[in-house]
Amino acid sequence: MGMAKTEYFAKRIKTVHEEEGEYRIIEIILPDREAEPLGQDETLEIIGKPHTRVEALDILTGKAKYTGDVMLPGMLYSRLLRSSKARAKITNVDVGKAEEMPGVKAVYVLPKEQVNYQGDIIAAVAAETEDIAEDAMRAIEVDYEELNHVVNVDMAMRSNATQIREGGNLSRPRTSERGSVEEGFSQADKIVEAEYSTQFELHQPLETHGQMVHWKDDEILYYKTTQGVQSARDAIVRELRREYPDENISSNNVRVVTNFFGGGFGSKLGANNFVAVTARLSKITNAPVKMILNRYEESLDTGNRPNSVQKYKIGVKNDGTLTAIELEAHGSGGISSGNDNLTTPTNEMYTCPNTRTTVGSVYINAGNKKPTRAPGYPQAFFGFECLMDEAADAIGMDPLELRKKNYADKSAGGTGRPYTSNGLMQCYEIGAEKIGWSRRNKTPGSDSGVKKRGMGMADLQWGGGGYAGAVIEVDIFKDGTVNVRNGSQDIGTGTKTIMAQVAAEELGLEIKDINVQIGDSNFPPGIQSGGSNTAASVCPAVRNGALEALRKLYPIVASRFNVDPEELESVKGRIQVKDKENIGMYFKEAAALMPENKVMGEGRRAPNPREYAGATFGVHFCEVEVDTETGLVKVLKAAAVHDSGRIINPLTAHNQVVGGVNQAVDYALTAERIMDNYTGCVTNPNLLDYKVITAMDVPEIDVFFVDIVDPYWNNLGMKGLGEPPRIALAAAVANAIYNATGVRFRDIPITPDKILEGLAARKEGGS
């Protein structure tokens, strides 16, 4: 792909793309007061440079206060009594012993007649200490009438299965079609059919879910572990209005604060099912009530990544052209649906005119799903990217070349809107070189010795382009200090830091001069931090807010030098006349001239262009070593290459990719929620039996970003990064294991027992 050449106008940008000798023009009209987009070759002082997180010292020294660290006068502690049964009617709840215990201030029984999964909340207590609360919770006696349950997805789909929901265990499948798959398959030289499956995955953030609630008079204050203080507030308001229809409850008197955040990966989006319980206890006791879940509860009732079963059929010509793709899939989120986004790679990733997808949900007696870093995509891309390797194998083509052959520069598999940018071709070149793709086994399983090595790859795509809606206040005070305020949330990704970088760049200051205030629902409208949208939604608005603040400061300075405000610029701590560095003053001196205490710039992000599609892209390569005697797989090296537009902070971006890659290694090899069919209970609700990789398992990880700025998607040319690192590597690992052993593994996690069984079956078959 050639580079883009961009011309700027007063309120529009026009870009001419040169791609393989062909040209296409992208023209975007800019809204009023929108900052002029920063082009590919822009010289920048702070944006694009690595910088440690602005709050790093507070975190390292323990000064940072997470929700669990918040202490309020007169605070009580709460514990939840949860169902030990997978499905049962509640015939009686006896709280007498709990209420009589010294130090117990309130016991509340939820008004429910039936529990539908282990961990379903039955009652709550509030007490003076954590130990008393725990003892009181255990003193509550519950009588159950056990009902038949089903926790196995295959069993739930049987015609004679226990029906756990009105309407049955199966949702009505959703079907979508483009072109004619029958015609496409008739044009294929080879047709490949395969079935893939993925497991239930738990989020397992180090900071468990929790909250402190103080309901005092008409004001309700939440300190909460949430990825979106304002979306959580709105969900809390809706829930409390249902619980207390006679109370005056609105977004004006409910406040949610998250000062520091210890991981969520989607599980802490919105509000959880205990938000109203804690509020009720606070109202009953007229005291602040803290509720922090333990690891057991975290494993049962804070969400999961749904499982999936994917049956594919793909048609391909001998030259690598895809002619048709068909997918039939289902997934379970537990007691909730579980088929999100399983169709995306089939419909979007590669050029293919004929596709058909049919997807449904299966319901079982387990906790609800919650969005999990790239919801649906790791499942879908595991199946689809393994399928692409199998298709390449069927026609004797290098898997990398097959993907290049079907590169799409338009959405909807090459049939929809053109992408504003797609750096996948550059990703291929970088990743193949860094991993040493030319060393890959030409014949799978041909590596000699007990420990066999192999290489694999997989592509990824994600949205994450951000959207309009955030409002940023940038205040320049008379003493020269600068505050940036917004109701978004930093979930550990470095949001505060990149906001400070953008503001400092636009104001001509240093990062240390910028004070970023986020994580409070009383601040100007933000967005919830999910979907890789935070940076690309908030940072362009920060830039507009900073520019607007300067527009209010410049006239004050211009009058001093008898120039027009448009002739001024703010550079390296000085406001000066352009091209005349000797005419100007320090920023603090300029701020001191303001007649009022401050000037405020309000920044908003422009909407995305409707006539174009925006997406992030990438490719992950890896090398693995398989011990054929023990079945152990070690990922030796990963090369993760991403097209996420302009990178604001390479250091925090690098960290995001490393974290995502490690979680993907988990997903490929170890992580799995396991349930007992007989009892309906989770057998590994802890970090001892639920296997996550340790420092000993972390591979060498090379991270690369292609240098493609997307100035027509937003004024910074940036795209999202949080989710993409989770998407591709599980498929790449499975493909690498095949390259090492010659055995296909279509079910993750690929544990040692599966490796040994597969190798034994291959030996028995003589292949």
Residue type, 177: E
Q: In this structure, are residues 679 and 86 in contact, taking their beta carbons and an 8 Å threshold?
A: yes
Number of domains in the chain: 3
Would residue 13 count as lying in a domain? no
Band of pLDDT at residue 8, cut at 50, 70 and 90: very low
For residue 13, the model assigns a pLDDT of: 53
Give the CATH number for residue 115.
Answer: 3.90.1170.50
Query: What is the domain-level CATH number for residue 710?
Result: 3.30.365.10
Question: Which is nearest to 521 in space by CA: 339, 251, 291, 762?
Answer: 251
In the prediction, which pLDDT does 338 show? Answer: 82
User: pLDDT band at residue 31, thresholds of 50, 70 and 90?
Assistant: confident
- Report which DSSP code applies to 756: H
pLDDT tens string 131-183: 999 999 999 999 999 999 999 999 999 999 999 999 999 999 999 999 999 99
Distance CA 212, CA 595 (A): 42
Q: How far apart are CA 726 and CA 749, in angstroms?
A: 15
Element containing residue 586 per DSSP (H, E): strand 580-586
- Whether 715 and 748 share a structural domain: yes
Q: Are 569 and 598 contained in the same domain? A: yes
Same domain assignment for residues 682 and 760: yes
Angle, helix 752-765 to helix 729-741, in steps of 10 degrees: 40
Q: How confident is the model at residue 33 (pLDDT cuts 50, 70, 90)?
A: confident
- Which token pair is 714? 């937003």
Q: Is residue 54 part of a domain?
A: no
**Is residue 435 located within the same domain as residue 385?**
yes
Verify that 288 and 373 share a domain, yes or no.
no
pLDDT of residue 212: 98
pLDDT (0 to 100) of residue 610: 87
Residue 3: band (very low, low, confident or very high) from pLDDT cuts 50, 70, 90: very low
448, part of any domain: yes
Cα dihedral across residues 498, 71, 293, 522: positive or negative: negative
* CB contact set of 112 (below 8 Å; sequence gap of 6+): 90, 120, 122
Residue 219 resides in a domain: yes
448 shares its domain with 472: no
Q: What angle do CA 298, 304, 307 make, to 5 degrees?
A: 150
Whole-number pLDDT of residue 25: 60
Nearest residue to 719 via CA among 540, 474, 484, 568:
540
Give which of 622, 653, 654 is closest to 750, Cα–Cα: 622
**Last residue within a domain, chosen from 604, 625, 660:** 604
Domain-located, residue 177: no
Q: What is the pLDDT of residue 188?
A: 98
Which segment of 11-20, 77-86, 192-201, 606-615 scores lowest on mean pLDDT?
Answer: 11-20
CA distance 13 to 28: 5
Residues 552 and 670 in one domain: no
- What percent of the chain lies above the pLDDT cut of 90? 91
Residue where a domain stops, chosen among 550, 571, 604: 604
The residue ranges of DSSP E strands in 157-271, in sequence order, are: 174-178, 190-198, 210-216, 219-224, 254-257
Cα gap 210→231, rounded to integer Å: 16
- Regarding whether 227 and 83 lie in a shared domain, the answer is yes
Rounded to the nearest integer, the mean pLDDT of the chain is 94
Cα-trace Rg, the chain: 28
Domain that holds residue 578: 466-604
Tokens 């991403």 belong to which residue?
A: 642
Show which of 240, 264, 292 is a domain's final residue.
292
**The predicted structure's pLDDT at residue 10:** 36
Give the pLDDT confidence of 539-579 residue by residue, as tens digits. Answer: 999 999 999 999 999 999 999 999 999 999 999 999 999 98
Of the candidates 386, 306, 307, the one whose C-alpha atom is nearest the C-alpha of residue 345 is 386
The pLDDT tens digits for 9-28 are 334 555 554 444 455 565 66
Q: Tell me the C-alpha to C-alpha distance, in Å, between residue 559 and each of 475, 553, 556.
A: 21, 11, 6
516 and 478 in a common domain: yes
Cα(106)–Cα(26) distance, integer angstroms? 63
State whether 549 and 683 are in the same domain: no
In terms of Cα–Cα distance, which of 485, 298, 269, 244 is closest to 375?
269
Order of strands, sheet of 580-586, starting from the edge strand that comes earlier in the sequence: 568-571, 574-577, 580-586
Asked whether residue 426 is assigned to any structural domain, the reply reads yes
Residue 388 lies in a domain: yes
Q: What is the pLDDT of residue 27?
A: 65
Give residue 581's pLDDT.
Answer: 84
144 falls within a domain: yes
Percent share of the chain, pLDDT over 70: 96
d(CA 711, CA 37): 5
Residues 441 and 532 in one domain: no
Whether residue 436 is found in the same domain as residue 572: no
Q: What integer pLDDT is reported at residue 349 of this predicted model?
A: 97
- Which residue do the tokens 């879940």 mark? 293
